[in-house]
A and B are shown apart, each in its own frame.
Chain A
Amino acid sequence: MLYNDVILENFLHPENVGEIENADGAGEVGSISCGDVVSLTIRVENNIITNAKFTVFGGAAAIACASFITKTIRNRTPEEALSIASSGELDRALGGLPAARLKSAVFVCEAVQAAIKNYYDRNGIGYDPFDFALGCSICDGCEE
């Protein structure tokens, strides 16, 4: 099988699909040329992420990763969420993504970073810019 049962389950029954209205942070990464576009919105209350939702243009790996990560970062501080949101962690937690689909995990993690960075920017919270991926980190360049 291309995907294991954990990934298939997250793909077939994704949680937290949609957009949070008037979100506290929002981020969108990827492009149709790359194959994945991940959009993530978060609600932050008292420095805790109380809700996270996603929309995705992409394959099963992208949908599964997005569903999984939105569940994982709930009830965490943005700092904790940033440390959790790594493609290696996601790959491990989901029991191994096919190599060609690892980039979907990278996109999903970058969407988390983009949403948190947006939350920091809106609220004037300082951060080290090097903690955030500066643009698409996956390939050398694309048409977009």
Chain B
Amino acid sequence: MYVYADNAATTKLSEAAKMAMLPYFDELYANPSSIHSSGQKIKDDINQARQTVADVIGAAQASEITFTSGGTESDNQAIISAATLGAERGKKHIISSSFEHHAVLHTLNKLKKQGFEITLIDPDPNGIVSGEKVAAEIREDTALVSIMYANNEIGTIQPITEIGAVCRKNGVLFHTDAVQAACHLHIDVQKQNIDLLSFSAHKFHGPKGIGGLYARRGTALSRLIEGGGQEKSRRPGTENVPGIIGLAAAIKEAYENIDKESAYLLSLRDKILNSLLAIPGSRLNGDLQNRLSGNISISFEGLDSESLILLLDNKGISVSNGSACNSASTQPSHVLRNIGVPKEYIRGTLRITLGRYNTEEEADYIIANVTESVNYLRSFSPVWKNSRKEESSYAVQ
């Protein structure tokens, strides 16, 4: 049996998205910037796709959506644009959190070297950054608040509406990296006072290499690269037409089924979670209630998750420990460290992220194999043996 349960890393392209894309490789291949009818037809299709995205996230106008290469580019452009706007008015302070994706953290680090002052708020142990904590850091010279919608490792959903209200009240631009949230949660950029929002198609069964950035009208975007006038000169370069079409098809399909899919993932997730939390020496990372419905981040005492993941891989199960972007490192991720996962547990962290194609049967297979592999690795772990010894001696006392 093969089970893919690493949907926070990427998802399978949906059939609907694939079929929508296919004609744009060899039949509808004209350049949307050309004035002939073949080109103009593509331009119309792109703008239709833009409208679809705008409708789903509650944008006032389709023109507020800029297509990019994905979440990383969108995060870079959003933050650099807001920093540029702030600097023009002498505001060089940015607030974010310490468990953002590296696309945000590394961009902020670059700005820090350019003279910006960065405040990184630590999430609480449940993996939540509250609106009050954000409000407490806002100053006269704050140019931007950037808080992720949902965390990529532990799946915790941030109080975006609350943070948006705080930012609006203080006249500060608000960016949210919604890469994990888009099409999984209901988003309304107007009601939630979001000025900039990043998303990526391959996290909701669209193609890789395409994403977008919502920028509220009046929030000028700085170009990251120079070139032609595509995307209203915000993102030069001939459009990734099949990607844009696939993104729109995927977003439409996902949004139509958002509640049904979320309920389904929740039932699968809770089944797995309840079984795995019954294993002694296990703990859930991050808040259970404010959490993406497909996310399980669980830590097991007394073992190293790399061994666990490779044993599961050998059984045909694809899961991860933290973010796929950090797999070369042997150190626990900044997310797990910053929410304070105890050192006895932190190295034994497993991330199982479910998607719409996972089945009940697969959930049972995951439960059986994780349980077996955890027990196996612990059977020859000196750390687990010592920890049990200590526990039984406490019990005697």
Contact = CB atoms under 8 A, between A and B. Distances in A.
Interface of A: 2-3, 8, 11-12, 17-18, 28, 32-33, 35-39, 54-60, 62-63, 100-101, 103, 143
Central interface residue in A17, A18, A39, A57, by most chain B CB within 10 Å: A57
A13 to B, nearest CB: 10
Interface of B: 302-304, 306-307, 310-311, 314, 327-331, 343-344, 347, 379-385
Nearest to B382: A39
Given A11-B307, A12-B314, A32-B343, A57 B383 contact: yes
A58 B314 contact: no
Contacts of B384: 57
A58 B380 CA distance: 11
Contacts of B343: 32-33, 143
Nearest to B346: A32
Contacts of B381: 37, 55-57
Contacts of A39: 382
11 contacts: A8-B310, A17-B379, A32-B344, A32-B347, A35-B330, A35-B347, A37-B382, A54-B380, A60-B306, A60-B310, A63-B307
Contacts of A32: 343-344, 347, 383
Contacts of B306: 59-60
A57 B311 CA distance: 14
A28 to B, nearest CB: 6
Contacts of A57: 302-304, 381-384
B382 A28 contact: yes
Given A32-B343, A37-B382, A58 B329 contact: no
A142 to B, nearest CB: 10
A59 B314 contact: no
B380 A18 contact: yes
A58 to B, nearest CB: 5
A63 B376 CA distance: 13
B310 to A, nearest CB: 5
Nearest to A54: B380
B305 to A, nearest CB: 8
A57 B347 CA distance: 10
A2 B381 CA distance: 23
B383 A100 contact: no
A2 to B, nearest CB: 8
A101 B330 contact: yes
Given A32-B343, A60-B306, A101-B330, A55 B314 contact: no
Contacts of A38: 382
Given A58-B304, A59-B330, 15 more contacts: A3-B310, A32-B343, A32-B344, A32-B347, A33-B343, A35-B330, A37-B383, A55-B380, A56-B382, A57-B383, A59-B306, A59-B307, A60-B310, A101-B330, A143-B343
Given A17-B380, A32-B383, A59 B328 contact: no
A100 B328 contact: yes
Contacts of B314: 12
The 5 closest A-B pairs by CB, nearest first: A59-B306, A57-B383, A39-B382, A55-B380, A57-B381
Contacts of A28: 382
A91 to B, nearest CB: 16
A71 to B, nearest CB: 16
